[in-house]
Structure 1
Amino acid sequence: MRIVIALGGNAILQRGEPLDCETQRRNIHIAAESIARIARDHQVILTHGNGPQVGLLALMNDHYKEVAPYPLDSLGAQTQGMIGYLFEQELRNQMPGQKVCVMSTQTLVDSDDPAFSDPDKFVGPVYTREQADSLLNEHPDWVIKADGKHFRRVVASPKPQAILELASLQHLVSADDITVICGGGGGVPVKRTRDGLLKDVEAVIDKDRSSSLLAEKLNADAFLILTDVDAVATQFGHPDSRNIRTATPEGLNQFDFASGSMGPKIEAAVDFVRRTGKMAAIGSLNRCSDILCSDSGTVIRPGGDGEVTYY
């Protein structure tokens, strides 16, 4: 099977952990152990988030006043190289002799996307209310929103229209013995000018949405979104909430999912199922093999009814 796996940021950094390189390496080592259990028997195309890393680079970048701050697209490209390198090394260690490749990718967006007027993508570390107020005084062009009990910077997250390196990726995965790491952070966001030239965009692409598009275009047999929850909950944090075991896209329509967290994951998974007629699933990184066998996580399959089952 050919499987696209989209890793949440928790695979690289747990909430509240320091953003140093060694912490990320330890977490990526654990993630690679889990992914390797699938990649030994199936072809894996791995994507990953980069929100904390982009936010950290932006803060570090801002403190060096001798150079104009680098834009978000350049910072996103930096994280693709850094995180991709760590995953490639750890996967090679887990699967000696198997081929692993990292590819930098760009994602085309519409410069008129309404997301630019209502940014909602979290980047960087979490802050207290006092820290957030102080940062807004220093950076009046920033937007900061509540993230649970904390606060984080948010930036625009326009919808992906195309992955510019798709033809190269299709050629690469045609050799089905290669594990590919690509689409880091949803891909570096770019737009086309009126004269057809590519230009940078100050935004961050949602990696689940771009991974869904990638899975479709690479003719994947399954699309897995791995995060820090066991399954999709009907009312996360509410005492009456239930974990969903299986559902059709229509069955998920009856629930409201948070736009800043589970909402885009549901949207990405449902879009893949509807466009391809194949399986998508959302669940815990530690249970990825079980998710593939439909023994864990929330599995979404095509169907014309509103079927939902629970754990």
Structure 2
Amino acid sequence: MARTAVVALGGNALAGEGQQGTYGDQRANATAMATPICAMLDAGWRVVVVHGNGPQVGNLAIQQEMGRGQVPEMPLFSLGAMTEGQLGSLIAIALYGVCGRRHRVAALLSHVIVDLDDPAFDRPTKPIGPFFSEVAARRLAETQGWDIIEDSGRGFRRVVASPEPKSFVEIDAIGCLLDAGHVVVTGGGGGIPVGRREGGWDGVDAVIDKDYAAAELAHQLGAEALVLITGVDAVQLDFGKGTQRRLTWLDSAEAERHLAAGQFPAGSMGPKVRAAIQFVRRGGRVAVITSHQLVVDTLGSADPTDQSVGTRIIHEDSRQGAIA
């Protein structure tokens, strides 16, 4: 039986640093991301692609605000749905371009259940949209009522609530498409957040972290691998210091100790490592954190001493090896 992997692409990976975020920019970036996914498919993996939307949903929110005098402004969860469709189409087109007729692709909007009492609603943490100078950010905070943070030394950004994903409403449809031989692109922006109100699902203004959503989806599908694609080749200890060193093989207990020691900041590597720990502790075989260039080599390596690949995280009781 074919192995299943859930692959998470960052919204920043589709709108690269220093780029304007035009459609052409994002299409070129999507094509680069599609290449390792196609290689995984050719190697026999069944693949579900989840993607972020932080830059795109924030940019769309700015467009909405600027046009509010002419057209009705939509709520944040609706903007999430718009960008899930936009980026799902972008990634599907890229996959068809790279894979040709070898693989079928289906992009599916998905709703993700959150707890309306999640304390995350009282502590906005998810950065969206472009970077601003401190002066511009403070002005926007005053005039628009935004919550603003300094983001990893790169500038200031708006932050919104990011509750924990509990379950995918469309999980059966995703499984059916996967079983029918499709690459499924879903969970865009972490999925469209919904909560139970008056006996039905209702949209919730938030942006779910795509790494946590990918880990939840991988668990629900019984996937063997969770692949978190990022801008660096591997997780680093003591990042930016003279003692910086690359981690290519560790178990979930080690990863948790490094998290507790403050090695992986909340605004960068922290969510990826937490999502990886969550996945392997709920039955997943291996979680991979790496750049798109090293995805296939990292999945295929079972050598704990191999420093040429990305980071592989396994359960503390499964140190005999990752998937070969």
> What's 2:310 paired with?
297
CA contact (8 A) 1:47 1:182 kept: yes
Deviation at 1:278, TM superposition (A): 0.9
CA contact (8 A) 2:112 2:192 kept: yes
Structure 1 CA distance, aligned partners of 2:237 and 2:48? Answer: 29
Equivalent position amino acid for 2:218 in 1? A
> What's 1:251 paired with?
254
> What's 1:192 paired with?
196
Deviation at 1:304, TM superposition (A): 4.2
Structure 1 CA distance, aligned partners of 2:115 and 2:279? Answer: 21
> What's 1:128 paired with?
133
Deviation at 1:11, TM superposition (A): 2.5
Deviation at 1:286, TM superposition (A): 1.5
> What's 1:110 paired with?
115
The aligned runs of 1:208-287 (5 Å cut-off) are 208-255=211-258, 256=262, 257-287=264-294
Gaps of 5+ in 2: 302-307
Equivalent position amino acid for 1:165 in 2? E
- TM-score w.r.t. structure 2 length? 0.90
> What's 1:86 paired with?
90
Deviation at 1:305, TM superposition (A): 9.5
Structure 1 CA distance, aligned partners of 2:192 and 2:241? Answer: 36
Deviation at 1:241, TM superposition (A): 2.1
Structure 2 CA distance, aligned partners of 1:190 and 1:246? Answer: 36
Q: Say whether 1:35 aligns with 2:37.
A: yes
Q: Say whether 1:55 aligns with 2:55.
A: no
- TM-score w.r.t. structure 1 length? 0.94
CA contact (8 A) 2:109 2:187 kept: yes
Deviation at 1:9, TM superposition (A): 2.4
Equivalent position amino acid for 1:73 in 2? F
Structure 1 CA distance, aligned partners of 2:171 and 2:224? Answer: 17
Deviation at 1:306, TM superposition (A): 10
Deviation at 1:239, TM superposition (A): 2.2
Structure 1 CA distance, aligned partners of 2:252 and 2:319? Answer: 8
Structure 1 CA distance, aligned partners of 2:98 and 2:273? Answer: 30
SS at match of 2:8: strand
> What's 1:25 paired with?
27
- Pairs aligned (count): 304
Structure 1 CA distance, aligned partners of 2:319 and 2:39? Answer: 33
Structure 2 CA distance, aligned partners of 1:14 and 1:220? Answer: 29
SS at match of 2:237: coil
Query: How high is the sequence identity, in percent, across the aligned residues?
Result: 39
SS at match of 2:90: helix
Gaps of 5+ in 1: none
CA contact (8 A) 1:124 1:152 kept: yes
CA contact (8 A) 2:235 2:289 kept: yes
CA contact (8 A) 1:251 1:306 kept: no
Structure 2 CA distance, aligned partners of 1:282 and 1:111? Answer: 30
Equivalent position amino acid for 1:300 in 2? I
1:143-188 CA-partner distances (Å, limit 9, x unpaired): 010012311111010000111000111122122x211101001000
Structure 2 CA distance, aligned partners of 1:149 and 1:50? Answer: 18
